[in-house]
């Protein structure tokens, strides 16, 4: 996607809504109902947005929803794009650049993930403190190819990819609403999917310090940080990874 193509998408949206979002939210699998909490809504099906891919996964509606959440102007992605759908990582994370171009300074990414940390339980929420970009280790990065300085620099740090102040704020809110016992903080990794991990792969990832495993988010955060956006993300632990050959999948 060239800068001009992304600018065309951004302009298409801005011409059709008066709302100017400051926060972009990516709703993970089964988490799209967050958009139902928005007020003064303008929504756009992906099929109606020029150059936009379509979401092919169950539980992903395929819609951009503009509105207010607790008085803050936001835009929600109800349905993201995954590498296993056949999309290159640059296309999977393209909506993040669109969010940046329409004025978003912050990104909140959510996902459904498998728990690799044996202390976790299904239903826990893991605040993502950091990630391991295994797909990047294999030479697959959303920023491959010529760099456009209008988005960000060629080389940039990822030392604080996930804003520590927002992590602490989330912990504070969890205590206030009484879910601190279900709240975790850990390291996430993204694999290509669509198959789940082998027992050997889970054990390897645990040795690397991984607490939760999914198929998204990492490339979106990389793209957002390249644009200078402030990021926060969490995983809903929807299953425990298979950690021994005696377990049923």
Query: In the beta sheet, which residues pair with residue 189?
Result: 132, 213
| pLDDT tens column, 147-193 | 999 999 999 999 999 999 999 999 999 999 999 999 999 999 999 99
pLDDT tens figures, 206-228: 999 999 999 999 999 999 999 99
Question: pTM of this prediction?
Answer: 0.97
Q: Which CATH number fits domain 3-240: 3.40.50.620, 3.40.50.2000, 3.40.50.1970, 3.40.50.1580?
A: 3.40.50.1580
Question: Which residues sit in the known binding site for a purine D-ribonucleoside?
Answer: 197, 239
Q: Are 9 and 46 in contact (CB under 8 A)?
A: no
What residue ranges do the domains of the chain occupy? 3-240
Where is 114: in which H helix or E strand? Answer: strand 106-115
pLDDT of 33 > 80? The answer is yes
The pLDDT tens digits for 112-146 are: 999 999 999 999 999 999 999 999 999 999 999 99
The fraction of the chain above a pLDDT of 70, given in percent, is: 99
- Detail the residues annotated as belonging to a binding site for phosphate: 29, 60, 80-82, 112, 216
Annotated binding-site ranges: 29, 60, 80-82, 112, 197, 216, 239
């Amino acid at each position: 996607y060239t800068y001009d193509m992304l600018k065309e998408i951004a302009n298409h949206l801005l011409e059709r809504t008066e709302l100017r979002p400051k926060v972009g939210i990516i709703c993970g699998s089964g988490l799209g109902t967050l958009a139902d909490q928005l007020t003064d809504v303008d929504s756009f099906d992906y099929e109606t947005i020029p150059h936009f891919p379509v979401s092919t996964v169950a539980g992903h509606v395929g819609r951009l929803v503009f509105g207010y959440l607790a008085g803050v102007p936001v835009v929600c992605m109800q349905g993201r794009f995954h590498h296993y759908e056949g999309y290159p990582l640059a296309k999977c994370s393209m909506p993040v650049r669109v969010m940046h171009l329409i004025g978003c300074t912050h990104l909140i990414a959510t996902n459904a993930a498998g728990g690799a940390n044996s202390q976790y339980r299904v239903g826990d929420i893991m605040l993502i403190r950091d990630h391991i970009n295994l797909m990047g280790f294999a030479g697959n990065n959303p920023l491959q190819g010529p760099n456009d300085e209008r988005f960000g620099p060629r080389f940039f740090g990822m030392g604080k990819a996930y804003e520590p102040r927002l992590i602490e704020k989330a912990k504070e809110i969890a205590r206030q609403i009484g879910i601190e016992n279900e709240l975790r903080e850990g390291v996430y990794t993204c694999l290509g999917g669509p198959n789940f991990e082998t027992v050997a792969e889970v054990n390897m990832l645990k040795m690397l310090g991984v607490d939760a495993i999914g198929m998204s988010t990492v490339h979106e955060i990389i793209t957002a940080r390249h644009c200078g956006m402030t990021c926060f993300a969490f995983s809903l632990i929807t299953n425990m990874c298979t950690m021994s050959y005696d377990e049923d999948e």
